[in-house]
Structure 1
Amino acid sequence: MTKLPKWADMVLVPVISLLLAAAISAVVILLIGGDPVEAVKVMVDGALGSPYGWGYTLYYATSFIFTGLGVTVAYHAGQFNIGGEGQAQIGGLGVALVCLAFPWPAWWMALPAAVIGAAVFGAAWAAVPAWLAAKRGSHIVITTIMFNYIAAALIVWLLVEVMRPTGQMDPATARFGAGTTLPGFHQIPGLDLIFTRKVPANVTFFVAILACFAVWLLLWRSRLGYQIRAFGHSESAARYAGISSTKVIMAAMLISGALCGMMSINNVMGEAGRLLQNSSEGAGFIGIAVALMGRNHPLGVFLAALLFGFLYQGGAEMGLWTNIPIELRLLLQGLVILFTGALDNMVRMMVAPFFRTRASAGVR
Structure 2
Amino acid sequence: MKNKLIWLALLLGLGLMPIQSPLSHGVWTAAPMCSIRPGLLYVGEACVGKTIDDFFVVQNQGDQPFTINAINSSNPAFSIVSPLPMAVPAGGEVMVEVRLNCTELGDSITTLDFDATSASGPVQCESILAVGTCRRPICSKERPRLDFGSVAVGQSVKRSFLVGPDLFLSRRLIPGSSAVGFTINAVDSSHAAFSVVSALPMTVTTSSVIMVRFTCTEAGPQRGTLTFDADSFDKVCGKVDCHIDVLGQCVGAIFTVTNTNDDGSGSLRQAILDANRNPGLDGIQVEPVVNATISPGRELPPITDPVIIDGAFITLNGERAGSGANGLVLERGASTVQRLKFTGLDGDGLVVEEGAGGSTIKGIPARTTKMA
Greater helix content: 1
Give the structure-2-normalised TM-score.
Answer: 0.17
Greater strand content: 2
Query: Max radius of gyration: which structure?
Result: 2
